[in-house]
Structure 1
Amino acid sequence: MRSEDAVIWWFKTRRGHTLLPVALAVFAMALYAVQDTTVLLPSITGSPRIALSLFVPVPLLALLMAMLESRVPAAESSGARSVTLLDSALVTVVMAASAVCSLAVCALHGTAAATAGSRNALFLTGVMLLGRAWAGQSAVMLPVGWLVTVVVIGFRGNVPRTWTVVALPATSAFAATASLTVFAIGLAAQFRSSRRTT
């Protein structure tokens, strides 16, 4: 099989041609819709007003996991071209596209808050990929668990604690660095777990 044909076969197997456009469209539309909306949610450590944009990456991550788990193990393990690099490239492209979506929403909406959407997607993807290395597809719930933890104990009054990362302001250099670091570690873990399953 030619290299180009192998990539096309892999992309169709991952359902990228259908799931990827849907994932990015939902992410961009949700980010635009809830841009500055905050809600008061119950918390043990305060009464924080939570930005709804915190939850926008969840459908994107669910669809990304669906793509990564759409596989034909027998064909992939016997193929000459390793799909591990392709899967890692897919994750990276989805995150880059989410950054473009965030910047577009930021430009349309006139607020910098949208840029936190792709930063949070990056962080939560890293968490999900780390979990996928040992929990498989069920690791898609780890980002949801992180967000629930942030809501319940992640605030001191109405001020987010540093460890929450996703609740920090869009301008936080620490949150940006932490997100990139966790994503890089998660991508490395995903690379190793994909190699074991292919």
Structure 2
Amino acid sequence: MTWWFKARRGHLLLPLAVIVFGVGLYTVQTNTVLLPSLTGSPRIALSLFVPIPLLALLMASLESRLPAAEVSGVRSMTRLDNMLVTVVVAVAVLCSLLIAGAQGSAQATAGGRNVLFLTGLMLLGRAWAGQTAVMIPVGWLVTVVLVGFRGNLPYFWTVIALPADSLFAAAVSLVAFAVGLAAQTRSSRKTA
């Protein structure tokens, strides 16, 4: 297991990912920006963009492997990859809860929820697109900014733009993450 973790560069990439996520979430706090949109003039929370570096580093970790050796090996790396993803996402959610508690604002908890949702999308796309699936969360963010608002209110399908206390967004994020882990099971044993 130690060799697997070192092959995934987990000792380098994953602490960096969590640190960048935590610092980014703490720094932007409740800041919003006015971005161009096709359906309104929304004030977009900067915290929507904070999970992207975490997802990029997580994908880099998952893709730094020797596919032929892993497929021909006796042990399946799927369980270990799923455990790795789950631990990183759980640490990110815990980090967002700690930041929300330190700031006295629930807005930071949306960052953890968004990590769940966007990781699920990325892992689902990874089953078919491989490493390029890291762009799916970026595409989702661009779509939300361009057409995800009517006026300044987000549509329900945006999920990541919904308020931090939205139970619907939390439930959809958990389902997306579970589906992404199931897709990860399929994609981890492929060589191409």
Give yes or no for the alignment of 1:67 onto 2:61: yes
Give yes or no for the alignment of 1:193 onto 2:187: yes
For residue 77 of structure 1, the aligned residue among 43, 59, 71 is: 71
The residue correspondences of 1:34-49 to structure 2 (distance < 5 A) are: 34-49=28-43
The residue correspondences of 1:24-35 to structure 2 (distance < 5 A) are: 24-35=18-29
Q: Is the 8 A contact 2:67 2:189 kept in 1?
A: no
Note the C-alpha offset of 1:83: 0.7
Note the C-alpha offset of 1:147: 0.2
Q: Which residue of structure 2 aligns with residue 4 of structure 1?
A: none
Give yes or no for the alignment of 1:184 onto 2:178: yes
Q: Which residue of structure 1 aligns with residue 45 of structure 2?
A: 51
In the alignment, residue 175 of structure 1 is paired with which amino acid? A
Q: Look up the SS of the partner of 1:63 in the other structure.
A: helix
For residue 89 of structure 2, the aligned residue among 72, 75, 95 is: 95
> Which runs of structure 1 show a deviation greater than 3 angstroms over 4 or more consecutive aligned residues?
none
Note the C-alpha offset of 1:197: 3.3
Give yes or no for the alignment of 1:126 onto 2:120: yes
Superposed CA deviations along residues 73-116 of structure 1, whole A, max 9, x for unmatched, are 23322322211100011010011000111011111111111000
Q: Look up the SS of the partner of 1:80 in the other structure.
A: coil
Q: Which residue of structure 2 aligns with residue 113 of structure 1?
A: 107
- Alpha-carbon distance in structure 2 between the residues aligned to 1:45 and 1:148: 13
Structure 1 vs Structure 2: percent identity of aligned residues? 70
Normalised to the residue count of structure 1, the TM-score between the two structures is 0.95
For structure 2, list consecutive stretches of 5 or more residues without a partner in the other structure: none
- Alpha-carbon distance in structure 1 between the residues aligned to 2:37 and 2:103: 30
Normalised to the residue count of structure 2, the TM-score between the two structures is 0.98
Q: Is the 8 A contact 2:67 2:190 kept in 1?
A: no
For structure 1, list consecutive stretches of 5 or more residues without a partner in the other structure: 1-6
